[in-house]
Structure 1
């Protein structure tokens, strides 16, 4: 079987509309040590993520996200944060009205091994 027979082709001329996903998203893991919640907003056609941490780094600040779409129009994004002690690459995809974020954390001082966490975020409405 060909790959395209299984997954289909990437849609042509698809506008990636993140409007339905703008707003605040809460981590379903109440004991997280990473991102407790985040907001997605739109400024001048750019999607901006503002993340809030659960422990020592309470306000991660804002960063631009790069939106993606798959062959069945499911949404995804990636974002990067670079703080004093850690660099974080976030890869998110929408699944059943949840954002699933795989966060790859690289500790700059080598005090901890690089770390991956995957957490689920829901909209509080």
Structure 2
């Protein structure tokens, strides 16, 4: 793990960084937001909380190496919004297995070839007490 000294995070975690050329990129059908606006999204979330309780979600940080620097891969939604891959966990679903499922759904191959996602570590855990 890392520690904070003088406002900087010193990381002692080792992980593999692979060149961007190891990957192929394509396009999939566009993903659309469920809600027409931010207030509509928050209202839907309040309604769901009343029915099923706390929402659990995960996101993955995928690092690659390009031009001598690490890069974080982001998904582009629309023309101006970027996000980490991930999403909502199913009820009772384990975080690691859920992240693997979501990565496969979002980034997985479309030719049916199975792939194994390696989840290295947890970067953070946030619990929001109130909407």
TM-score normalised per structure 1:
0.32
The answer to which structure has the higher strand fraction is: 1
| Structure of greater Rg | 2
Q: Which has the higher helix share?
A: 2
Q: TM-score, normalised by structure 2?
A: 0.31
